Amino acid sequence: MDERLKRTEWFRHDRFGMFIHWGLYSIPARGEWARGSEQIDDNTYYSYFNQFDPYAYDAREWARLAKSAGMKYAVLTAKHHDGFCLFDSALTDFKATNTPAGRDLVREYTDAFRAEGLKVGLYYSLIDWNHPAYPAYQHHSHPHRNNENYKNRRPFTEYIDYMHNQVKELCTGYGKIDIMWFDFSYGDMCGEKWEATKLINMIRKYQPDIITDNRLEVSGEGFGSLATENPLIYSGDFVSPECIIPPEGIVNTAGCAIPWEACITLNDNWGWAPSDNNYKDESVVIRKLVECVSKGGNLLLNVGPDATGRIPEQSRNILTNVGRWMDGHSQAIYGAGKSDYTKPEWGRYTQCGDTVYACVMDFPVGPLALPGIPAEKIDYCRLFPGGSELKLYNDWRTSNYAGIAYVNIPRYDMYNKIYTVIKIKLKQ
Ligand code: GLC
C-alpha cells in the first residue's frame, strides 16, 4: 500500500476534526490577519502581547466540546503568521510564557486532547511577520511592506534555521503529534525555499507516523505534486482545500482518489471576530460534513477562541447540536467514504465496504426511492438512530417505477428532525 494511504488510514477513518485559531489577534478581535492586513505597528501589537491574559482557557473544556461534537482530532495554531507562539519555544521571546498567560498553552492542549482520546495536530505558519530575517518591505502580506526601514533584513537562512528548529521543538517536546499543518507557500516561497526536503526528513525522524498537509508546496487552492503519480517527499499526505468543498472529491493524474481535508470557518473568520455573526448552523455543518465524506474527504471545522480563552458561545451551541446528530448517525461518517452510487436527489450516499449509508436531507412525500441500488442487491436496511428494521416497500404508488428500490420511512421519523440515515447492507 502507498505509504501515504497507510499513514492517513486513521485520518480517512475519522473524517471530522476541530481547527483552532487562537493567538494575540483575539484581542483586536478582527481575525488572525489583523497585524498584516491593517499594517498594525509593532508597538500596538506588542501591547497585546503584554495584555494577553486568557484566564478562562481550559483545554479540557475545548477537548470535551470537540469530542462531544463527534470530532476525532484537532489542529491548534502553535504559531500563526503574526509570529506569536502559543508554545514555550527556547528560540524566541515572543511566546505565551512571556505574556500574563505565563503558561505553555500548546502543552495544555496536547495533554487535554489526548486525554479525551483525540488525535492532536499542530498548525505552524511558514510565514512570519515578526522574525527579523523574514522578507518584509514590499513583501506579500507583511505589516511593514510599505515601510522602507524594513528593506534590509537579516539573511533568510536565519529564518530557515529558526523555523526548522521550532518545528523540531514541536516534534520533540510534546509527545506524539499526529498532524503537522503547515501554512502556506506562495510565489517562489515554496518547496526548497523552505528547505522542505530537509524539514520533512527531520520531522519523520522524530515523528515517523505524523501526517502533513500539502502547503509546504502550495496554498489553500493548490493540489501540488501530491496529485501527480510521483509526489515529492514534501508533497504532504493530504490536499487542504480552504473554504471550499471540491465538486467531485480529488483524484491524482492517474485518476486515483487522494486524501483531502476541507478546512472551513464556522462564521467568516478563523480568528475571534465578535462582529461576525455569520455562523453556519448545525444543519449546514452536518450537510457539509456528509458532503465531504460522500466525496472521500474530511472536514476540519474551525473555532476561534476569544481573548479570555473561551470558545465563543455560538460556536459551542452549534457544535453541541452537531454532536446530538453525530450521536445517532455517525456510522455514516466514521470509516465511510465515497459511494459507488450516484448522488440521489434527496441527499447523499456514503459507503463503507458493502454498506451504503443513505443520508436523507430532503424527506420525500410517500416512499423513498433508493436510486441506483437494485432491490435484489439489498440484503437489509436499518433506520438510524436506533437501528430499527426498514423493509423494502412497494404499494400502488410505486407500481409504475419498476426497477427502483423503495423504503418507507415511518412518519414519526420524518419532518420533525434533521436528516435521517438509512443503513443499506448489500449482498456479497
Ligand atoms: C489561510 C490564512 C490563514 C488560515 C488558513 C487556514 O491560508 O492565511 O489565516 O490560518 O488559511 O487554512
| Residue 151: pLDDT over 90 | yes
For residue 263, how far is its CA from the centre of ligand 1 (angstroms)? 9
- Give the ligand 1 atom nearest the CA of 77: 10
Q: 171-186: per-residue pLDDT in tens?
A: 999 999 999 999 999 9
For residue 183, how far is its CA from the centre of ligand 1 (angstroms)? 7
Q: 210-224: per-residue pLDDT in tens?
A: 999 999 999 999 999
| Residue 331: pLDDT over 60 | yes
Ligand 1 pocket member 19 (CB < 6 A): no
For residue 258, how far is its CA from the centre of ligand 1 (angstroms)? 22
- pLDDT number for residue 341: 96
Predicted confidence band of residue 385 (pLDDT cuts 50, 70, 90): confident
- Give the ligand 1 atom nearest the CA of 80: 10
- The dihedral through the CA atoms of 188, 189, 190, 195 has a sign that is positive
- pLDDT number for residue 321: 95
- Give the ligand 1 atom nearest the CA of 33: 9
Predicted confidence band of residue 117 (pLDDT cuts 50, 70, 90): very high
Q: 53-68: per-residue pLDDT in tens?
A: 999 999 999 999 999 9
CATH topology of domain 339-426: Immunoglobulin-like (2.60.40)
Q: 239-285: per-residue pLDDT in tens?
A: 999 999 999 999 999 999 999 999 999 999 999 999 999 999 999 99
Ligand 1 pocket member 242 (CB < 6 A): yes
* Mean confidence (pLDDT) of the chain: 96
Q: 152-168: per-residue pLDDT in tens?
A: 999 999 999 999 999 99
For residue 413, how far is its CA from the centre of ligand 1 (angstroms)? 40
pTM for the structure as a whole: 0.97
Q: Do the Cβ atoms of 381 and 424 come closer than 8 Å?
A: yes
Mutating to test ligand 1, I would choose from 127, 213, 214, 242 the residue with most ligand atoms within 8 A of its C-beta, which is 242
Q: 13-48: per-residue pLDDT in tens?
A: 999 999 999 999 999 999 999 999 999 999 999 999
For residue 16, how far is its CA from the centre of ligand 1 (angstroms)? 18
Region 388-397 average pLDDT: 95
- pLDDT number for residue 46: 98
Predicted confidence band of residue 1 (pLDDT cuts 50, 70, 90): low
- Give the ligand 1 atom nearest the CA of 242: 12
Residue 175, classified by CB atoms within 10 Å of its CB into exposed (0-12), middle (13-18) or buried (19+), is exposed
Question: From start to end of 274-387, where are the E strands?
Answer: 298-303, 337-338, 347-352, 355-360, 368-370, 378-384
What DSSP state is assigned to residue 249? Answer: B
Q: 279-318: per-residue pLDDT in tens?
A: 999 999 999 999 999 999 999 999 999 999 999 999 999 9
| Residue 416: pLDDT over 80 | no
CATH topology of domain 2-335: TIM Barrel (3.20.20)
How far is C-alpha 356 from the chain's CA centre? Answer: 24
- pLDDT number for residue 94: 98
Ligand 1 pocket member 263 (CB < 6 A): yes
Whose cell is 523574514? That residue is: 134
Domain range list for the chain: 2-335, 339-426
Picking from 19-23, 379-383, 411-415, 416-420, which range would have the lowest pLDDT averaged per residue? 411-415
- pLDDT number for residue 418: 73
| Residue 415: pLDDT over 60 | no
* DSSP string of 205-245, one letter each residue: HH-TT-EEBSTTT--TT--GGGGSSS--TTS-SBB--BS--
Could you give the CA distance from residue 23 to residue 79 in angstroms, rounded to a whole number?
8
Predicted confidence band of residue 412 (pLDDT cuts 50, 70, 90): low
Q: Quick one: what percent of the chain has pLDDT higher than 90?
A: 94
For residue 53, how far is its CA from the centre of ligand 1 (angstroms)? 24
For residue 392, how far is its CA from the centre of ligand 1 (angstroms)? 47
Could you give the CA distance from residue 194 to residue 205 in angstroms, rounded to a whole number?
18
Q: Which residues of 181-216 are buried (b: 16+ CB within 10 A; e: fewer)?
A: bbbbbeeebbbeebbbeebbebbeeebeebbbbbbb
| Residue 368: pLDDT over 90 | yes
- Give the ligand 1 atom nearest the CA of 21: 10
For residue 32, how far is its CA from the centre of ligand 1 (angstroms)? 8
